[in-house]
Amino acid sequence: MIFLDKLNQNITDKQSLFFVGLDPNPEMIPERYQGSDLLASLENWLQFVIAETADFVCAYKPTLGFYQALGVRGIELLIKIMASIPGEVPIILDAKHGDLNTTSMFAHSIFVDWEVDAVTLNPYAGQDHIAPFLVYPDKAVFILCCTSNPSAAILQQYPTTSPFYLQVVQESKTWGTPEQLCLEVGTTNPEILKSIRAVAPERIIMVRSVWSQENSIQPILAAGLDNHGDGLLIPVPQDMLSSTNLSQEIRSLRTELNQIRSDLINSTSSCDVWFPDVNIKDKHPHQDLILQLFDIGCIMFGEFIQASGAIFPYYIDLRKIISNPQVFSQVIGAYEKILAGLTFDRLAGIPYGSLPTATGLSLRLGYPMIFPRKEVKAHGTRKAIEGNFLPGETIAVVDDILISGKSVMEGAEKIKSVGLRVNDIVVFIDHEKGVKDKLKENGYCGHSVLTISEIVNTLHEAGRINQQQLLAFQQE
């Protein structure tokens, strides 16, 4: 399971945005746990914290530096503590790793040997430092972009017109996808958090230091939550971890925070209305849709590390459209125009990305829908195809993006294996590179709403991307 899915599952199951810092700080250990063996005392305390909080938090965050300061036994303690964390709860290792020469080795150690789910990193060395961590597609990194210590302001907030910490946020967005790259922000100032959220509306933000002053948590939530009331991780107050009634106190704090969160969600619109802000004479028929997809973060430009290690100058994520009804309706309408010219009996969506789209098309067009299972279960009916159908019927296959054609053709072959016919495959975006020719060689006719070239050229003409980004795509 990828980090973001694991995190979101815990947020949903426990109705909590809280994470706990598991730090063996001798200065914080409660008196009742103090003994002659410091390491044993720290372990007993941290085990108590895990037991008391496991039902109320979405993640744990051990700080590597505290364990390293305790020597070899400290590292052994870290491994014991991480092994005690329930397997379904993600572990974010607070490492602030910043050494370029050891990144590959360190990434392998923490992600493979220690099996942590995410790590905090120092961005000062740039993408070269971050890239070795992003080749693990089920893991994530948190980029430190702002801290609350006063002496850091002279660097992080320089120059005042466009502070450096915002440049870190803007640049780091091009290093990895929202599923893999998150942000860490230490601040007591809601305005700083608000400015970061404005630049990175789609990123998970782990906040720090929010309890260091007697400020209400409401302004922090108002500034940091995304448009759907999510996207923010809040630390459990450090001094609370010494309480004998820890589970009771964190339950109460969770209730308070969720009420504030609910009030904020209810006070804002659930669906923003988008208006075009450009005027191009010979505009593309889908210009407004392309611009909207870019503006809501479905299309991003930068240098994105793929699981294979290859670097793409762009990244497409169409899963976000289901949270924006205005855009989703336009996407369905664009598919509909193509499907209106085809002959078929049923629709099929390819799991998992295109299933919402196929469902929407089924409802709008009045055609029944089926879908091939990604994997056939070893129990129950063991069906390869879900839904009702009659052998000999013709199926129009719907997918979201055509990159290599492998997954959609595998899905089509499963459909054909039960006596159905597949002639047409309809996708929203064609990455080109001759993939439609490959479909034709295998007996399929490929159709697409847009090509990646049309998207890039439209974005460039509208001023959404610059000449350098256009050239990077053309040279890809």
Q: 158: cis peptide before it, omega within 30°?
A: no
Q: Is 379 annotated as a binding residue?
A: yes
Residue 18 near residue 57, CB atoms below 8 Å: yes
pLDDT at 416 exceeding the cut of 90? yes
Report CA 105 to chain centroid distance, whole Å: 25
Convert the pLDDT of each residue in 420-443 to its tens digit: 999 999 999 998 889 999 999 999
Q: Is 465 annotated as a binding residue?
A: no
Among 194-198, 313-317, 321-325, the range of highest mean pLDDT = 194-198
Q: Where in the chain is the domain with CATH 3.40.50.2020?
A: 286-474
User: What residue has token string 């804002």?
Assistant: 268
pLDDT at 381 exceeding the cut of 60? no
Closest CA to 335 of 286, 372, 370, 287: 286
pLDDT at 267 exceeding the cut of 90? no
Closest CA to 219 of 197, 252, 250, 241: 197
Q: Is 73 annotated as a binding residue?
A: no
Convert the pLDDT of each residue in 91-103 to its tens digit: 999 999 888 889 9
Convert the pLDDT of each residue in 69-120 to its tens digit: 999 999 999 999 999 999 999 999 999 988 888 999 999 999 999 999 999 9
Hey, how many other C-beta atoms are within 10 angstroms of the C-beta on 161?
5
DSSP string, 244-263: TTHHHHHHHHHHHHHHHHHH
Q: Is 346 annotated as a binding residue?
A: no
Q: Is 438 annotated as a binding residue?
A: no
Q: Is 400 annotated as a binding residue?
A: yes
Closest CA to 141 of 206, 198, 88: 206
Averaged over 229-246, what is the pLDDT? 92
In the numeric block, which tokens belong to residue 345? 């009996």
Active site residue 61: no
- Whole-number pLDDT of residue 306: 61
Please, which residues bridge with residue 399 across strands?
A: 427
Classify 286-474 by CATH class.
Answer: alpha beta
Integer Cα distance of 438 and 295 in angstroms: 32
Q: Is the dihedral of CA 170, 146, 264, 236 positive or negative?
A: positive
Convert the pLDDT of each residue in 31-66 to its tens digit: 999 999 999 999 999 999 999 999 999 999 999 999
Q: What is the 3-state secondary structure (H, E, C) of 272-318?
A: CCCCCCCCCCCCCCCHHHHHHHHHCCCEEEEEEECCCCCEEEEEECH
- Whole-number pLDDT of residue 227: 77
pLDDT at 213 exceeding the cut of 70? no
In the DSSP assignment, the letter for residue 203 is S
- Whole-number pLDDT of residue 32: 93
Averaged over 262-290, what is the pLDDT? 74
pLDDT at 339 exceeding the cut of 80? yes
Q: From the candidates 96, 194, 283, 320, which is the catalytic residue? A: 96
Integer Cα distance of 118 and 141 in angstroms: 5
List phi, psi (to 5°) of 434.
Answer: 75, 20
In the numeric block, which tokens belong to residue 45? 């305390």
Strand, helix or coil for residue 131: helix
Hey, how many other C-beta atoms are within 10 angstroms of the C-beta on 73?
15
Hey, how many other C-beta atoms are within 10 angstroms of the C-beta on 139?
22
Q: Is 286 annotated as a binding residue?
A: no
Integer Cα distance of 399 and 452 in angstroms: 15
Convert the pLDDT of each residue in 167-191 to its tens digit: 999 889 888 888 899 999 998 889 9
CATH number for the domain running over 3-269: 3.20.20.70
Among 65-74, 155-164, 224-233, 324-333, the range of highest mean pLDDT = 65-74
- Whole-number pLDDT of residue 423: 97
Residue 10 near residue 17, CB atoms below 8 Å: no
pLDDT at 375 exceeding the cut of 80? no
Q: Where in the chain is the domain with CATH 3.20.20.70?
A: 3-269
- Whole-number pLDDT of residue 466: 87
Quick one: what percent of the chain has pLDDT higher than 70? 93
